[in-house]
Chains A and B, each alone.
Chain A
Amino acid sequence: MAAQAGAAGRLDRWLGRLPLLRGRRPEALPVRLDHRRIYVLPTRLGLLVGGVLLAMLLGALNYNNNAGLVLAFLLIAVALNSAVMAHLGLAGLRLDALQAGPVHAGGLLSLRLSFDSGRRAREGLWLQNENGEPALLAGPAAARLDAVLALPAVRRGRQALPRLRLTTTRPLGLVRAWTWIAPDAGMLVYPALETPTPALPGASTPGQGRPRPDRSGEDTHHLRDYRLGDAPRQIAWKASARSGQLRVREYETGAAQDVQLDWKGLPELGTEARIRRLAAWVVEAERQGRRSRLVLPSGVLGPGRGAAHRHACLQALALLPTTPA
C-alpha cells in the first residue's frame, strides 16, 4: 500500500508538471474553482464497489436476471450521480480571502482561507497542504466557508504558500473530487526571537527624563478608534461606552523611555543571531511600553511604539537579506 501511495504521489507530481492539466501559476485572489480544474477519480472503496457492481452486472446479464439488473443499474446510476455531486461540491466555490496571523519562524503559521460557497450548500470539503493535517471547511452561514490551516513557518521572510488541495468524497465516499489551489500570496514570517529574552540595551540617552509620573489624567493621552490587534487592556471602556464606539488609549510617552536598537551595536553576533536578538528586543520594548528606534543597514525605523511600529520593525528584520551588504 505504501508503494501504491508512492506511485500515486509520483503520478501526482508528474501531473503537476503538465501545463494543460495543472501547471497553473500561482494566481491572484479571488480564485474561482471551475470544472476545468476539478478532477474526479474513484477512491479505493469506489474501485471495490465498482468491481462488485461490474460482477453483478455481468452475472445478471448472463443469466438475464432482471432483479439483479434492476439492482445493478440502480446502484451504478447512483454511483455516477455521486461522482457528479462530488464534482458539484467543488465547482463554483471561490477562494476570496486569505488571512494569516503573525508568526515567528519556527512556529506554526495559522492561515485562514475564506471561501464563498455561492448558492449551494456544501459539506465535507477538506483542505490540506502537501503534508499537513487536513482541515474541514466550515462556516457560520452556508454562503461562507472557512478553513484554518496550520503551516510550519520554517524561516523568516516572505513565505510562499504551498499548493493546497481541496478534496471531497461526499456524498458516498465512492469517488474523490479534488482541485489544487495555489494562491499568489506571500505570508510574512517574523524572525525567531532569541530566548531567553535578552535585557534591553541600556538607555541610549541616560538621565534624559523619566516616565511621566502622572498617567491618569484625561489629557495625558489621547483616544483613537479601535484598530484590529489592539490589546483589550488598552481599550478605554468608559469612553467607549459614552461614544458608542470602541476607543483605545494612546499614551503620551516620554522620550526617556526610548531604546535604541542598533544593528551596528552587535558586532559580535552573526547575521541571524543579530536579527533574533533585535527582534527579541523589539518585542520586549513593546511589552514594556517603551518607544524603540531600530537602526538597520537598510534604514531607520522609529522611534515609535504600538502594534504598527512593532510590525514595521519585525517586517524589516524579517526581510533583511541573509548576508546584509
Chain B
Amino acid sequence: MSHSPTARREMPALPLRRVVVVVAVLAASLPLLLHLPGPVAVGVAVLALLAGASALRRPLPIGLRVLLVLLASGGVLAGFDFRLGRDAGSALLLAMLLLKLAELRDIDDARRLVGFALFAPFAAFLQDQGPLTLALGLLAGAAALFALARLAHASAEMPGLASEWRQLGMLVLLGLPLAAAAFWLFPRLPTPLWGLPENAVARTGIGDSMSPGDWIDLMADDSPAFRVRFEGPRPPAEQLYWRGPVLSHFDGRTWRRDPRLAVLPPPPLPAAPDGGIAYTLTLEPTDRRFVFALESPAGWPPQLQMDGEASLLAREPLRGLAQFQLRALPVQAFQPQLPEPLRRAHLALPPGYNPRSLALAEAWRAETPDARGYITRVLEWFHAEHSYSISAPPLGRHTADGFLFDTREGFCEHFASAFVVLMRGAGLPARVVTGYVGGVRNPIGGHWIVRQMDAHAWAEVWLEGEGWVRVDPTAAVAPERIFDTLEDRGGGGIAAGLQPMFDLGDTLREAWNHFVVQYDALRQVQLLERLGVRNADPLRVGIAFGLAAALALGLSLALLLRREDRERDPLQRAWRAYLRRWARRGFGKRPGESAAAFAARVGRSVPEAAASLEALVARWNTLRYADTAVSTEARAELARALRQARPPAVGGS
C-alpha cells in the first residue's frame, strides 16, 4: 500500500482500531447475508468469521487469499446455479468485501474498507425493503460512522465508547432534519433512467407453468403474496378468486401459458364504467408480470394491460412492491363468441397421454350430452371417489389417469389438471387458471392478506351460448381446504394465541409498505398538493426541496452554534443572563468595566435598585475572585439568586 506523502505528513498515522473495522464490515454484511439462499449464506458467514478473525490479527497470506477468492466466487456461483443475476452479483460483492477484510493492513485500508462496506446494505435493500432490513441497514450505517469516528482519533484523544456514541448520536440527530427534507422532497424520478438489474433466479410463487404436484413447497409457504384493501363492500371469502396466469397449453405433463393466445386482443368483458368492488392491491415483488386481480376485473390503471386470455399483466416485471387501484364486478360468463382457432386451441390434447381419462370422457359425454350435466357428473365423481391431500404421491407418465383412477388423492393442481383433460376429452373447450383464492382479513389493520399458501388452480370451461365459466373442481371435494382461514390451518393452540401478534405485525408491515416503501414521484406530488403547491412539476419540487433543505440546514447549524455558545458554568450563565436583563433596560455593562463600577454607575441612575444590585455584585465578586475555595452550594445559591433577580422597570418607560 502506498501513501501519498502529503497524507502522511499532514497527520501522523493514527492508531488502527481493528475491532471497530471488523464490527463495521460485519454489520454491513448482515442485512445482505440474511437474504442469501441458505447454502450460500452459510458459506459467506464462514468466510466472514474467517476474514474477521484474520483482520483482528494480521492479513492472511497471499496464497490463501487467492485460494479463498477462487473458492468464494465458485461457491457463490454454484449456489446460484451459475446464473449471474442481481442476487448472485450482490453475493459476490459481499464475498469480495469480506475478503478485503482478510488483508487489512493499515488505517488507510481500514478507512477505504469501511467506506466501501456501505454498499452492502444498499444491495440488501434492492432485495427487500422491509423494516427489519432497513433497521439492520441503518445499524450498519451507524457502525460505519462509528468506525470512521474511531479511526479519526489520535491515541492521546481516544474518548470512551459511550462518549463516542453520544457525539455520533448528536451528529446523526443534527442530520435528521436535512435527511427528512430530502427524503420527502428531493425530486423523485417518475420513470427510471435504467432498468432494474435482472434477477436470474426467479422467486417462488405462481409462474407461467404448472404441473401436478409442483406446488408442494408453495402450499407450505406462509409469506404474503399480496395485500388487499377494499374501499367499499367486499365479496364473501368464497368469491375471492384472484385470477392470475391462464394455462391453456398442455404437453401431457405440464400446463403452460400459451404465448400465441396471450398476444391476442383482450376478450370483451362485461363493461361497467364505475361501481363494483373497488380495492387497492399491493403485490409483493415477483420478478414476473402477473397481476392477481379479483374476478372479474372491470377497471385497471394504465400500468396494467389485459392479455388475450383475460389475465391482467403489468407492463414491467414487478421487481419491487407494486400497488394498483382496481375494480371488480361480480363474476359472470364472458366471451360468448369463441373463434374457431381459439376453440381448437382450448381443445388440444397431446396424443398418447391419459388414454383411460379420454376414454372415460368420451363415454360419459355420450351418456350426458348436456354440457352442464356432464360437468356436474364429473364433479360428483370427484366428490365421491377422490380426496384432498397435500402429500399426494408422484404420478407417472399419464398424470390425469394416475390421479383419477389410481392414487385418487391430490390437491388443486391435480384436480384442475385432470378436470380440464376430462373437459377437453369430451369436446368442451377448457383451460387451467392459476391464482389465489381467499385470504384472511386482518382484524387490526382491516386489510386482507393473501399468502403463497393460498395459491390455487381451477378451471374455466367455455359453454355454448354463455362463454367462459369458472369451475373449481377442488371446491367440489374439499371446500374447507380452499376457503379456510389461518386459524383452521394452525389448529388453534399456540398459533391461535399468537394470532393477534401476527395480525399486528402484518398491519405494521402494510402501513410500512404504504407509507415508506410505496412513496414515489406520484405520492410526492400529492404530498406537495396537500401542502398547497399546485401543479408540482420537477422544478417546483426542486424549489420546495431547496427551501426545506435550507431550513433544515439552518436548523442544524443553529443547534450546533447554540451548543457552542452554551456556557458550561451555571453561575457564569446566570450572571450573563442577569447582565443581559440589565442591558435590555438600557444599562449594558461596558467592555472593560468592572462589575463593581457597573453596579455603581447603574446605582446612580436607578437608585431603587442600587442596594440589591450592589449586594449581588459583591457576592459575585467574592465567589468569583476570592482566594478561598468556594463551596458548590454557595455558587448554586448565587446562581439561583441571579436567575431570580429582575431589574425594575425604569423611569416611566
B584-613 contact mask (Cβ, 8 Å, vs A): 1 or 0? 000000000000000000000000000000
Residue from A55, A77, A169 in contact with B11 in the complex, judged by beta carbons closer than 8 Å: A169
A119-151 contact mask (Cβ, 8 Å, vs B): 1 or 0? 110011010100101101010000000000000
Q: Chain B residue with minimal CB distance to A12?
A: B6
Report the Cα distance A9→B5, complex, angstroms: 11
Q: Which residues of B contact A84 (CB under 8 A)?
A: 556-557, 560
Residue from A62, A81, A176 in contact with B189 in the complex, judged by beta carbons closer than 8 Å: A62
A87-116 contact mask (Cβ, 8 Å, vs B): 1 or 0? 010001000000000000000000000000
Report the Cα distance A283→B2, complex, angstroms: 48
Taking the complex as formed, is B116 at the interface, i.e. its CB lies under 8 A from any CB of chain A?
yes
Tell me the dominant secondary structure on chain B's binding face: helix
> What are 17 A-B residue pairs whose CB atoms fall within 8 Å in the complex?
A49-B118, A59-B122, A59-B126, A60-B122, A62-B192, A63-B320, A65-B126, A66-B519, A67-B133, A71-B118, A71-B141, A78-B172, A80-B175, A124-B154, A126-B10, A131-B9, A173-B148
Report the Cα distance A114→B5, complex, angstroms: 28
Taking the complex as formed, is B77 at the interface, i.e. its CB lies under 8 A from any CB of chain A?
no
Contact A174 B138 (CB under 8 A): no
B181-196 contact mask (Cβ, 8 Å, vs A): 1 or 0? 0110010110011101
Taking the complex as formed, is A15 at the interface, i.e. its CB lies under 8 A from any CB of chain B?
no
Q: Chain B residue with minimal CB distance to A69?
A: B183
* CB within 8 Å for A66 and B5 given contacts A49-B115, A78-B175: no
- Report B98-155 residues with CB < 8 Å from chain A CB: 111-112, 115-116, 118-119, 121-122, 125-126, 129, 133-134, 137-138, 141, 145, 148-149, 151-154
Report the Cα distance A136→B156, complex, angstroms: 9
Contact B122 A172 (CB under 8 A): no
Count of interface residues, chain B, beta-carbon cutoff 8 Å: 72
Q: Which residues of B contact A2 (CB under 8 A)?
A: 4-5
Report the Cα distance A4→B155, complex, angstroms: 28
Residue from A9, A44, A133, A171 in contact with B152 in the complex, judged by beta carbons closer than 8 Å: A171
Tell me the dominant secondary structure on chain A's binding face: helix
Taking the complex as formed, is A56 at the interface, i.e. its CB lies under 8 A from any CB of chain B?
yes
Contact A8 B6 (CB under 8 A): yes
Report the Cα distance A149→B115, complex, angstroms: 33
Contact B567 A136 (CB under 8 A): no
A308 to chain B, nearest CB (A): 32
Residue from B2, B137, B556 in contact with A81 in the complex, judged by beta carbons closer than 8 Å: B556
Count of interface residues, chain A, beta-carbon cutoff 8 Å: 61
Q: Which residues of B contact A78 (CB under 8 A)?
A: 145, 171-172, 175
Q: Which residues of B contact A176 (CB under 8 A)?
A: 10
Contact B125 A71 (CB under 8 A): yes
Report the Cα distance A117→B638, complex, angstroms: 27
Contact B175 A81 (CB under 8 A): yes
Contact B567 A71 (CB under 8 A): no
Report the Cα distance A123→B91, complex, angstroms: 40
Q: Which residues of A contact B193 (CB under 8 A)?
A: 62
Report the Cα distance A319→B133, complex, angstroms: 72
Contact B111 A167 (CB under 8 A): no
Contact B11 A52 (CB under 8 A): no
Contact B126 A119 (CB under 8 A): no
Taking the complex as formed, is B516 at the interface, i.e. its CB lies under 8 A from any CB of chain A?
yes
Residues of A within 8 A of B (CB): 1-2, 4-5, 8-9, 44-45, 48-49, 52-53, 55-56, 59-78, 80-82, 84-85, 88, 92, 118-120, 123-124, 126, 128, 131, 133-134, 136, 138, 167, 169-174, 176
Residue from B118, B175, B192 in contact with A63 in the complex, judged by beta carbons closer than 8 Å: B192
Q: Chain B residue with minimal CB distance to A57?
A: B186
- Report B239-257 residues with CB < 8 Å from chain A CB: none
Report the Cα distance A78→B177, complex, angstroms: 11
Contact B519 A73 (CB under 8 A): no
Contact B10 A167 (CB under 8 A): yes
Contact B126 A68 (CB under 8 A): yes
Q: Which residues of B contact A72 (CB under 8 A)?
A: 122
Q: Which residues of A contact B6 (CB under 8 A)?
A: 4-5, 8-9
Contact B183 A73 (CB under 8 A): yes
Q: Chain A residue with minimal CB distance to B153?
A: A124
Q: Which residues of B contact A172 (CB under 8 A)?
A: 145, 148-149, 152, 171
* CB within 8 Å for A48 and B149 given contacts A1-B3, A78-B171, A78-B172: no
Contact B122 A74 (CB under 8 A): no
Q: Which residues of A contact B521 (CB under 8 A)?
A: 64
B576 to chain A, nearest CB (A): 11
Report the Cα distance A167→B10, complex, angstroms: 8
Contact A92 B175 (CB under 8 A): no
Contact A65 B115 (CB under 8 A): no
Report the Cα distance A78→B178, complex, angstroms: 9
Best-buried of B12, B171, B193, B194 by chain A (most CB within 10 Å):
B171
* CB within 8 Å for A66 and B517 given contacts A60-B125, A134-B12: yes
Contact A77 B149 (CB under 8 A): no
B135 to chain A, nearest CB (A): 10
Contact B138 A48 (CB under 8 A): no
Taking the complex as formed, is B46 at the interface, i.e. its CB lies under 8 A from any CB of chain A?
no
Report the Cα distance A54→B115, complex, angstroms: 12
* CB within 8 Å for A63 and B126 given contacts A71-B141, A128-B10: yes
Q: Which residues of B contact A138 (CB under 8 A)?
A: 156-157
Contact B564 A92 (CB under 8 A): yes
Report the Cα distance A63→B126, complex, angstroms: 8
B413 to chain A, nearest CB (A): 34
Contact A80 B565 (CB under 8 A): no
* CB within 8 Å for A70 and B183 given contacts A5-B5, A119-B565: yes
Taking the complex as formed, is B7 at the interface, i.e. its CB lies under 8 A from any CB of chain A?
yes
Taking the complex as formed, is B326 at the interface, i.e. its CB lies under 8 A from any CB of chain A?
no
B11-30 contact mask (Cβ, 8 Å, vs A): 1 or 0? 11000000000000000000
Contact B152 A124 (CB under 8 A): yes
Q: Which residues of A contact B516 (CB under 8 A)?
A: 66-67, 70
Taking the complex as formed, is B176 at the interface, i.e. its CB lies under 8 A from any CB of chain A?
yes
A79 to chain B, nearest CB (A): 8
Contact B111 A171 (CB under 8 A): no
B543-565 contact mask (Cβ, 8 Å, vs A): 1 or 0? 00000000011001100110011
Q: Chain A residue with minimal CB distance to B12?
A: A134
Contact A1 B4 (CB under 8 A): yes
B558 to chain A, nearest CB (A): 11
Residue from B10, B565, B568 in contact with A134 in the complex, judged by beta carbons closer than 8 Å: B10
Q: Chain B residue with minimal CB distance to A3?
A: B4
A26 to chain B, nearest CB (A): 23
Contact A81 B157 (CB under 8 A): no
Contact B320 A65 (CB under 8 A): yes
Q: Chain B residue with minimal CB distance to A123?
A: B157
Taking the complex as formed, is B167 at the interface, i.e. its CB lies under 8 A from any CB of chain A?
yes
Best-buried of B5, B148, B186, B319 by chain A (most CB within 10 Å):
B148
Report the Cα distance A133→B8, complex, angstroms: 10
Report the Cα distance A67→B122, complex, angstroms: 8
Taking the complex as formed, is B304 at the interface, i.e. its CB lies under 8 A from any CB of chain A?
no
Report the Cα distance A44→B12, complex, angstroms: 16
Contact B11 A134 (CB under 8 A): yes
Q: Which residues of B contact A59 (CB under 8 A)?
A: 122, 126
Report the Cα distance A95→B157, complex, angstroms: 21
Report the Cα distance A5→B9, complex, angstroms: 11
Contact A48 B182 (CB under 8 A): no
Taking the complex as formed, is B520 at the interface, i.e. its CB lies under 8 A from any CB of chain A?
yes
Contact B175 A64 (CB under 8 A): no
What 3 pairs across the A-B complex have the smallest Cβ distances? A77-B175, A173-B152, A77-B178
Contact B125 A67 (CB under 8 A): yes
Contact B112 A45 (CB under 8 A): yes
- Report B615-649 residues with CB < 8 Å from chain A CB: none
Contact A73 B7 (CB under 8 A): no
Residue from B119, B148, B154 in contact with A174 in the complex, judged by beta carbons closer than 8 Å: B148
Q: Chain A residue with minimal CB distance to B107?
A: A173
Q: Which residues of A contact B567 (CB under 8 A)?
A: 119
Taking the complex as formed, is B237 at the interface, i.e. its CB lies under 8 A from any CB of chain A?
no
* CB within 8 Å for A64 and B157 given contacts A45-B111, A131-B9, A173-B148: no
Q: Which residues of A contact B168 (CB under 8 A)?
A: 171
